[in-house]
Amino acid sequence: MGQSDEMLDDEDYPAYTMGRAAEIVGCSQDFLRRLGEAQLIDPHRSAGGHRRYSRRQLRLAARAYQMCEEGTDMAAACRIIVLEDELAEARRENQSR
């Protein structure tokens, strides 16, 4: 498999610009900035300083956006998502023992 194939398969490869990420998630660019400020996602910065997002980050942003659209405060949505992910990781670790 070549390097470009590996990048396409990499969930954490920062492939999406802020504009494209907002379009995919269905939110505003400001919403993505605020998720960064809330430390739910930490977008990669290009050499020019532009934010770049991975597929994993887009999934987190979409979860947060859906929760906020349903009336959950952003800080609460971010905390819930972090706790859900920590619980899922703990369950995976317990199953592998």
Q: Which domains does the chain have, with CATH numbers?
A: 3-95 (1.10.1660.10)
CA distance 67 to 1: 38
Closest CA to 44 of 11, 15, 79, 23: 15
- Helical residues (DSSP H) of the chain, grouped into ranges: 3-9, 18-25, 29-37, 55-69, 74-95
Would you state the torsion angle of the CA atoms of residues 51, 53, 59, 61, taken in this order, to the nearest 10 degrees? 0
Which tens digits make up the pLDDT trace of 26-42? Answer: 999 999 999 999 999 99
H or E stretch covering 71? none
C-beta atoms surrounding 34 within 10 Å: 17
- Condensed to tens digits (0 to 9), the pLDDT of residues 38-91 reads 999 999 999 999 999 999 999 999 999 999 999 999 999 999 999 999 999 999
